[in-house]
Amino acid sequence: MAINRYESVLPGGHIILGSSRGFMSEFTHFISGRSEPSSGKSMPIYNPSTGKEAGKVKLGLEKDVDLAVLAAKTAFRNWSKLGLQQRIDKIYDIRQALADNREQIIQLVVEQTGKTLADATAEVTRSVEIIGHATATTVLSATPYTRGVATGINTYEVRYPVGVVAAISPFNFPVMIPLLQSMMAIACGNTVVLKPSERNPAALLRIAELFTEAGLPDGVFNVVMGDRLVVDRIIEHPDVAAITFVGSTPVAREVRERGVARKKRVQAFGGGKNHLVIMPDTDIDFAANAAVSSAFGAAGQRCMAVSVVVAVGEIGDFLVEAIKSRAASIPVGGIDDASAQLGPVISEQSKRRIADCIETAANEGAEIVLDGRAEFSKEGEGWYIGPTIIDHVSPDMAAHRDEIFGPVLSIVRVDTYEEAIEIISASDFGNGAAIFTRDGSIATRFTDDAQAGQIGINVPIPSPVYFHGFAGWKDSAFTETKMHGRDAIDFLTRTKTVTNRTLEPIVKSDVTMEFVTR
């Protein structure tokens, strides 16, 4: 079946059509290699570009989680016993399945998330890379071997998968983040129960079906729809060995605390308030381009977005004008607008919350130099906020303290590098921090001084490649291990340390039938 801009195939052969055709589908679980009916209530799914209902999702109950965990636990017995290279061969197959169906998945992301075609394409392209990275498990999982720790004694470590891994994923990257959470887990021999955002599950459900078609054994990758009720059951379930969560900071903290109290391994990643420090020696045009792309890409709905520019010295007026002129020219539009570079935010609630944040900043004395709320006035035409720039923001204002999670950029002005560092250090968040400067000594100082998990030097979004670790500091992450690289292997496996003495074989005398007496 040909796939066009308005038409995509869903699990079970269903078709979801774009807003102009009004077809609606209902989404439910994918457990043990097939679609499973849900026991809970139906919830509407909306097209953010139009604000109109475009389908329904059936939320799960505790018994649906139990069914998925049982499927994963059952599949674990055989999947964990496969040789590592046998598992990697399957990973290659499912990577190819996603690559072959890339355009279809992109369209599903566009339709349910409201992303521009460029943003959705970038996400799915990186998702294919993520699966490819999981094939590096053969290298990353290597363990130490020490020969001759004593005469005739060698010591080495052996890795084992932890069991059933539960992943709880956000709406903003409905393909990339779930695959980041699950692919390395599967490669290590674990099985996965994944709860995606109930706002845009279509792409992930289609991927689950593609994985099964590509030969991934039933029960290795399961998807459960749901809300808080499902999350609570995941945390409480005795057969869930590890939880990986990405979402807001308050929920991340709660998942971490409750999961650890039940002796589970937990990685919980929260929000961010990322600072871009721009020094006076920086090329203003270069810095302004970077600030605009990193603040307004994906409509600002990403935890690594630059949401605060810290202008150092006397460059403030020039920098703000350069950023404003670029941001004002960004085309805003829906999925039917091929020229759009900034799409809608995910929901009506998000749109109103962001608009309230802008109003609060004005009431607190900041200057709104570019106001995206003009897009907010479009009634019945989707959930749009245009690029917004707030100047003369002080560190005590809500626009600086809180994660807005939208296309809003705050400008803080300081006199010195030291003041910029104080502002970053005082923030509750610590996902990322970047600096633009030509001064190598300042760059080195910034690497040491900035209190954040990811540091960028003349790079506005310092999100690392997958063979390096990712995790924020402070309230941006509640975990001892990072998400990518070797840390992911450590989180997803446990080791035994073996001390082995090799004994010489005992040489026995020939067998005799002679009767022996005392």
Residues annotated as catalytic (active site), given as ranges: 303
What whole-number distance in Å separates Cα of residue 385 and Cα of residue 363? 19
Exposure of 363 by Cβ count < 10 A (0-12 exposed, 13-18 middle, 19+ buried)? Answer: exposed
Residue 351 tokens, joined: 């749109």
Query: Taking a C-beta distance cutoff of 8 angstroms, is the pair 239, 163 a contact?
Result: yes
The most distant pair of C-alpha atoms in the chain lies apart, rounded to whole Å, by 107
The CA-atom distances, in angstroms, between 26 and each of 57, 369, 464 are: 5, 43, 36
CA angle 124, 125, 127 (to 5 degrees): 60
What whole-number distance in Å separates Cα of residue 411 and Cα of residue 416? 15
What whole-number distance in Å separates Cα of residue 207 and Cα of residue 202? 9
What whole-number distance in Å separates Cα of residue 220 and Cα of residue 68? 10
Helix (H) or strand (E) holding 456: strand 454-457
Query: Taking a C-beta distance cutoff of 8 angstroms, is the pair 122, 105 a contact?
Result: no
Query: Taking a C-beta distance cutoff of 8 angstroms, is the pair 417, 441 a contact?
Result: no
What whole-number distance in Å separates Cα of residue 79 and Cα of residue 73? 10
Residue 35 tokens, joined: 């679609």
Nearest to 162 by CA among 240, 225, 234: 240
CA angle 507, 513, 517 (to 5 degrees): 95
- Per the listing, tokens 């394409």 go with 121
φ, ψ dihedrals at 352, nearest 5°: -70, -40
Query: Taking a C-beta distance cutoff of 8 angstroms, is the pair 141, 188 a contact?
Result: yes
